[in-house]
Amino acid sequence: MKKHNFNAGPSILPREVIEKTAQAVLDFNGSGLSIMEISHRAKDFQPVVDEAVALFKELLNIPEGYSVLFLGGGASLEFCMIPFNFLEKKAAYLNTGVWAKKAMKEAKAFGEVVEVASSAEATYTYIPKDYTVPADADYFHVTTNNTIYGTELHEDLDSPVPMIADMSSDIFSRPIDVSKYICIYGGAQKNLAPAGVTFVIVKNDAVGKVSRYIPTMLNYQTHIDGGSMFNTPPVLPIYAALQTLRWIKANGGVAEMQKRAKEKADMLYAEIDRNKMFRGTVTDKADRSYMNICFVMNDEYKELEADFMKFATERGMVGIKGHRSVGGFRASCYNAMPKESVQALIDCMQEFEKLH
């Protein structure tokens, strides 16, 4: 039976990315060695990093003066590296979910943290809009897509101070005005690569302004200077990332990714809104994520939740269980998700409705 992979992350990758990576695992560039067996300093590997960096810059229209880094540690390590490198006195954070809160927690160890707004009281079912960012903050941190709660900023915000964004789960799903940010980071395991590599886009002249000592590995300058090769980088995930970047380019770039994402999300939200058995969890429709679509059974059908899960699983749906803090269902529709899979889930919802 065909499987439809709605996992939130690690998640679906384009089939050709998996095939090309598998080929390199067996035989990298006809060398007779696996990509897992070669030095990151091998002459054949440097072009992989160089092309990945160049494609990042091209696809996201990154201005001059920024570096693209491939590091380890996940987005979670960036939660601490960000304040280590950029927080001198005060930082502003928008609390839109678990990941934003974790980022904020780390920052508190380095200076004053202003939570400009929070939707915690409503289980993060919307993104706050009414707040002021202090003009004397070193930066304003946002999570552009809240993977767990299914809310998303569809456009770059305006801010009186430079922004920093966790784009773990929506990178490459829309054009970004990178010039508004001094740093954009994320774990790659949604729209880019298998787990194991963290991408960081950092403005070179924003680094080196804090007065504290920064341990070598946690200092962005180390990785800018080392071209992501200060220590052994995650070679295999970087190779897979390059294949995804090529795939995005060949498929029309981020504007096309955005168009497809909106089309898929519109289809599924339309069914959630139409079907008497389900409702979306996000209260402000403008905040509905295109990447993670969260929904629950309506109150009168609540006891059928496990039945629907079984029904959908039997029809090939994978990974639609909602996060434990939200419950219900979450259909993650990243770039590689085909429209046919979204339609298969919609068909499931319609068939299930007919049975009740």
143 near ligand PLP (CB under 6 A): yes
Q: Are 16 and 245 in contact (CB under 8 A)?
A: no
Token reading at 102 = 């974790």
232 known ligand binder: yes
**Which range of residues in 21-29, 164-172, 211-219, 325-333 is near ligand PLP by CB under 6 A?**
164-172
HEC-encoded secondary structure of 142-184:
EECEECCCCEECCCCCCCCCCEEEECCCCCCCCCCCHHHEEEE
Q: Which is nearer to ligand PLP, 85 or 146 (CB)?
A: 146
189 known ligand binder: yes
- In degrees, rounded to 5, the angle at the alpha carbon of residue 350 between the alpha carbons of residues 345 and 353 is 125
Active-site residue numbers?
A: 99, 166, 190
260 known ligand binder: no
- The conformational region for residue 158 under phi > 0 = left, psi -120 to 50 = alpha, else beta, is beta
Q: Which is nearer to ligand PLP, 76 or 313 (CB)?
A: 76
- CB 230 to ligand PLP: min, Å: 20
271 near ligand PLP (CB under 6 A): no
- The site for ligand PLP, by CB under 6 A, has a size of 11
- CB 352 to ligand PLP: min, Å: 28
151 near ligand PLP (CB under 6 A): no
User: For residue 11, what are the CA distances in angstroms to 18, 190, 224, 311?
Assistant: 12, 5, 29, 22
Among 308, 304, 312, 321, which Cα is nearest to 341's? 312
- Candidates 9, 196, 233, 322; binder of ligand PLP (CB under 6 A) is 9
**Which range of residues in 57-65, 152-160, 165-173, 264-272 is near ligand PLP by CB under 6 A?**
165-173
**Which range of residues in 56-64, 70-78, 173-181, 279-287 is near ligand PLP by CB under 6 A?**
70-78
Binding site for ligand PLP (CB under 6 A): 9, 74-76, 99, 143, 147, 166, 168-169, 187
The annotated binding site for pyridoxal 5'-phosphate is made up of: 75-76, 99, 147, 166, 189, 231-232
